[in-house]
Amino acid sequence: MANIDAWHAVVKSQDRKALNDLIADQAVFHSPLVHTPQVGKPITTAYLTAAMHVLANDSFRYVREINDGQHSVLEFALELDGIAVNGVDMIEWDTDGKIIDFKVMIRPYKAIEVVRTNMAAMLEKLG
């Protein structure tokens, strides 16, 4: 599936232009750290860029994946600041292979705290 392969390439390369090209203009990002959906390509790109900088470290790996063409669910695991982080990316693709909806869930609670702290710092830095 070309769309999920493109996503994996972006995560591996952390290429901001390739990420931007993969996101639809009307994309919506659902963060475990923000209570409301973040609407639009610029904010979705910003959150995903920050997430890649914070989460896609040397320990990051996808451990399970389900794809049906228009929907992908990817379970990930990593260690961040000594905390084991487990999460799920849920991606919906449009007919052009662009991301139109991206939802992240993270567990356990201690992992949410460490991700929130690191994401806030990265968003400020990228800001």
pLDDT score for 82: 95
Q: Where in the chain are the domains?
A: 2-126
Res. 69 pLDDT band, cuts 50 70 90: confident
Q: Between these two residues, 73 and 125, which has the higher pLDDT value?
A: 73
Structure tokens at 116: 């929130």
Res. 127: pLDDT tops 80 = no
114: CB partners within 8 A, 6+ apart:
80, 81, 83, 85
Q: Between these two residues, 88 and 117, which has the higher pLDDT value?
A: 88
Fold of the 2-126 domain: Nuclear Transport Factor 2; Chain: A, (3.10.450)
Considering only CA atoms, which of 29, 23, 26 is closest in space to residue 102? 29
**72-102 tens-digit pLDDT:** 999 999 999 999 999 999 999 999 999 999 9
pLDDT score for 18: 95
Tell me which DSSP letter residue 32 carries: S
Region 34-40: mean pLDDT is 93
**41-59 tens-digit pLDDT:** 999 999 999 999 999 899 9
pTM: predicted TM-score of the whole model, two decimal places: 0.92
Res. 2: pLDDT tops 90 = no
Q: What is the mean pLDDT of the chain?
A: 93
